[in-house]
Amino acid sequence: MAKSSGFHSAMTLAEVLVALALLSGLFLIWRPVLDAIRRLPDLTEEMAMLDAESSLAAYMAGSAEFKTVQINSLYYLVPDPAPLKINGQPSYRQLNLEVRLTSSGSYLQGSGTTSGPGTTPLIYNVKKVVYTTVRPGIVRYELYFFHGSRLTGVLNDKTTR
């Protein structure tokens, strides 16, 4: 009687079935994990909103003082960087914060009057803006974007800081 060397030349049916069962079990475990990863939200829109909010807050963080609040525009005064003293008082420039539509796109801008600076694009792809006076020196804004999002916040002028 010949002795076997202990080496198999092929897998048995039981080994194949065990390997298939293990692979099926791994697939069943990882499938919910992969589905959850696919359902993770796209944070690019939220990041754009935070960037827009910080841009607007930084722009208004200077010493702006609100003059006129209209539904679609906000007129405010800022000290002139090269002030002309009139009767000992520093001069101010009147600026306007509103949405501009151009052939290259739309944006919220801070624009000056004839004595003020040129346009300063702050936030791009803005469809419209709505300002509401909460109380003197505090204005609530709502920015509506073309992609359907809406950003709301509050601006304070220097008299309420």
CB 125 within 8 A of CB 137: no
pTM beyond 0.85: no
What pLDDT is recorded for position 112? 65
**pLDDT tens digits in sequence order for the chain, 161 residues long:** 566 666 667 888 999 999 999 999 998 998 888 888 888 777 777 777 788 888 777 776 666 778 888 888 888 877 666 656 666 666 667 778 888 887 777 878 777 654 444 566 778 888 888 989 888 888 888 888 888 888 888 888 776 65
Tokens of 90: 């520093």
